[in-house]
Amino acid sequence: MTRLIFNILVVILIFGCSNKTSRVSLNKNKPQTSTDAFGDRWCITGDFNGDGQQETLQESFVSSIDGKEINKKYNADYDSMVSLTIKQKPICRLLSNKIKPLTINKNNWQIFGLAYLKNEGDLDGNGTDEVGLIIDWADWSNVNYYHVFT
């Protein structure tokens, strides 16, 4: 009986951890300094427009001042990280070459990007995969919401 339970747990761990979510490092050629921690960007695949083909959604975290990718974190105390981020007026989007961009934060600059991104599959039966995400707000709260988009 113990062996059966052990085998079931192993199967759950092997197949339950399979996920299409990944993080993409955009800082391969960017030197790190004492005040910058560029951070990875989330990336998922799925059929988000219902055409039967896989699309890729990539997190973009850019400054609205110059349109360039910016740090998601800084090697500084938390108050300074929040201040440095807000000064950049960041825009967090999900980009794809097949569907229009999804802007995560509309005129709210107090964001560190995404904390989590996942393809939820076709939850509502409309033929398109839904996207689940958690926003990493640049604030002093640990309370967050899980948002689902179709």
CB atoms within 10 A of CB 88: 17
User: Is the pLDDT reported for residue 142 higher than 80?
Assistant: yes
Residue 130: inside a domain, yes or no? yes
Task: Please tell me which residue, 37 or 15, carries the higher pLDDT value.
Answer: 37
Total domain count, the chain: 1
Residue 137 scores a pLDDT above 60: yes
For residue 123, tell me if it sits in a domain: yes
Does a structural domain hold residue 140? yes
Q: Report if residue 50 sits inside a domain.
A: yes
Over the stretch 52-85, which tens digit does the pLDDT of each residue have? 999 999 999 999 999 999 988 888 899 999 999 9
The tokens for 92 are 């967090």
Calpha distance 96→48 (Å, rounded): 10
Average pLDDT, the chain: 80
74 in Cβ contact with 98 (< 8 Å): no
pLDDT digits (tens, 9 = 90+) for 17-34: 334 455 444 444 343 443
- With respect to residue 9, please indicate whether it lies within any of the assigned structural domains: no
125 touches 113 (CB < 8 A) = no
Residue 6 lies in a domain: no
**Residue span of the structural domain in which 125 resides:** 20-149
Domain for residue 37, yes or no?
yes
The model's pTM: 0.72
The span from the CA of 47 to the CA of 60, in Å, is 19
Residue 8 lies in a domain: no
When pLDDT is averaged across residues 92-100 and rounded to a whole number, the result is 92
